[in-house]
A = this chain, B = another copy of it.
Amino acid sequence: MIQAVRTALGDKAVIDDAHDIEPWLHDWRGRYHGATPAILAPDSTAGVAQIITLAAAHGVPLVPQGGNTSMVGGATPPADGSALILSLRRLKRIRHVDPTANLAVAEAGVILADLHDAALAQGRRFPLTLGARGSATLGGLASTNAGGTQVLRFGTMRSLVAGIEAVLPDGQIHDGLAALKKDNRGYDLDHLLVGAEGTLGVITAVTVRLVPAIAARAVAWVGLSSPHDALRLLHALESTTDAIESFELLPAESLAAVLRHIPATRAPLAGAHRWHVLIEAVASDAGAEPPAQLLERLLAPALAAGLAADAVIAASEAQAEAFWRIRDSLSESERALGPAAQHDISVPVERMPDFMLDAAAACDARFPGTQASGFGHLGDGNVHFHVRAPAGMDAAEWYGDLAPVVTSYVHDLVTAAGGSISAEHGIGQMKLAELQRLAAPARMAALRAIKAGLDPHGLLNPGKLLALARGPATP
């Protein structure tokens, strides 16, 4: 197989030096470790198609890999060395940016930050962003339906992908880049590939939507007494404007941790509040109501009604950045508090306030000495729910023994609340067993039937998302 690829695509398309392969055998957090005899690195869609055709002929499994920033081991090859890595990093052309149609076509290996720059250079914006924007690639972002901090208004990758080019498991190229706004010619292959984690096809390029560049923004910090009030406030805002792009909730203890551990941070409000919300409003129309004025107009009645206890609108861009720095430092400051079990979970938005309080209380009661709390994207029904180890507990003991039990317990609570054990990170290797344990049988049967229909020999990203690599399924 390796020789066949070398013959078909040349030496540059095969990396088989162990030293060059090494960095790509592990996930970036160092939790998953794999092995492979070679990385295949084509530089075109046609090259990807040739490789997948050869893999089908030789019966060789392939693990697609972009920036290797998966949070769930989704791009790490199996440890037995049975699969080859298919790197998309050389497919790195931004084929075009069309500021009139508000569309861009980027190959799978294009890095998110580069797309941001290319859009900005044309007076447009690609609104999805996240911490790994300097490494994560468009192919990986689409394959995992990535989220991030600006989902509230523009949605996850699924909402921003207008078309997909992919190589299917039989080696044929699906070209959906034309980005038709209306197209009812049968099953939507693009939506099927988004979030499929490379198990149904390998995305080689995406057409993404752009939005107007930001003309003005305003950032507010609000103190309030409960997640319930926070959600009511969000609804009050959203019922009259769609300019709200971020609505991030955090408890007092998270703010305190930031103020204690992150240099040069200060509390935005003078008084003490049990909960805090950061709100960003954005205008793209320079002639429209300025976002600061909009927030003032909409927050005033909320304060008068007691929905919010106090609020301040950043008076300068520097102050706005300072507010955001608190939010962006939450993970770093939490690490300073010691080991924790972290969960990327979602429940229906309306249930999130109850869930945050009830699940934290249930965890605290069930695991004495631990401290549970959630923070994050309230408006998406998605928080990062962390359970911190009891003070003084050894990290090895926590991660080895207690944390997995805590995680199963949290996942049970999420499932009981009608939620998802993976809001934005996907399943990969990490959550495969939990998905199998908790998903409805109807859902698992359907996922398996789709996988068996499209990839009957289980050659694409084996061992991810679904435990299925047994050849064609029989009904």
Q: Does B174 contact A442, Cβ atoms closer than 8 Å? A: yes
Return chain B residues, CB-CB under 8 Å to A445.
168, 170, 172
A359 at interface by CB-CB < 8 Å = no
Return chain B residues, CB-CB under 8 Å to A186.
195-197, 427, 435, 439, 443, 447, 465-466
A386 at interface by CB-CB < 8 Å = no
The chain B residue sitting closest to A147, CB to CB, is B182
Copies of this chain: 2
Q: Does A240 contact B285, Cβ atoms closer than 8 Å? A: yes
Q: Does B187 contact A447, Cβ atoms closer than 8 Å? A: yes
How distant is the Cα of A97 from the Cα of B95 in the complex, in angstroms? Answer: 44
Contact check: which of B184, B441, B453, B457 meets A144 at CB < 8 Å? B184
How distant is the Cα of A180 from the Cα of B192 in the complex, in angstroms? Answer: 17
A3 at interface by CB-CB < 8 Å = no
Q: Does A380 contact B200, Cβ atoms closer than 8 Å? A: no
Return chain B residues, CB-CB under 8 Å to A287.
240, 297
Return chain B residues, CB-CB under 8 Å to A456.
475
Return chain B residues, CB-CB under 8 Å to A442.
168, 170, 172-175
Nearest CB on B from A155, distance (A): 8
Complex interface bits, A101-124 against B, C-beta within 8 A gives 1, otherwise 0 = 110000000000000000000000
The chain B residue sitting closest to A475, CB to CB, is B456
Given known contacts A156-B182, A184-B422, A285-B240, A191 and B192 CB-to-CB distance under 8 angstroms: yes
Return chain B residues, CB-CB under 8 Å to A47.
none
Return chain B residues, CB-CB under 8 Å to A156.
182
Q: Does A187 contact B195, Cβ atoms closer than 8 Å? A: yes
Contact check: which of B170, B377, B450 meets A453 at CB < 8 Å? B450
Complex interface bits, A189-224 against B, C-beta within 8 A gives 1, otherwise 0 = 101101111001000000000001000000000000
Return chain B residues, CB-CB under 8 Å to A187.
192, 195-196, 200, 446-447, 450-451
Q: Can you list 5 residue pairs at the A/B interface with Cβ under 8 Å?
A: A172-B442, A174-B442, A185-B421, A186-B427, A453-B454
- With A101-B349, A185-B435 known, 5 other A-B pairs at CB within 8 A are A174-B446, A188-B192, A188-B194, A188-B195, A451-B453
Query: Top 4 A-B pairs ranked by shortest CB distance?
Result: A453-B453, A172-B442, A191-B191, A182-B423
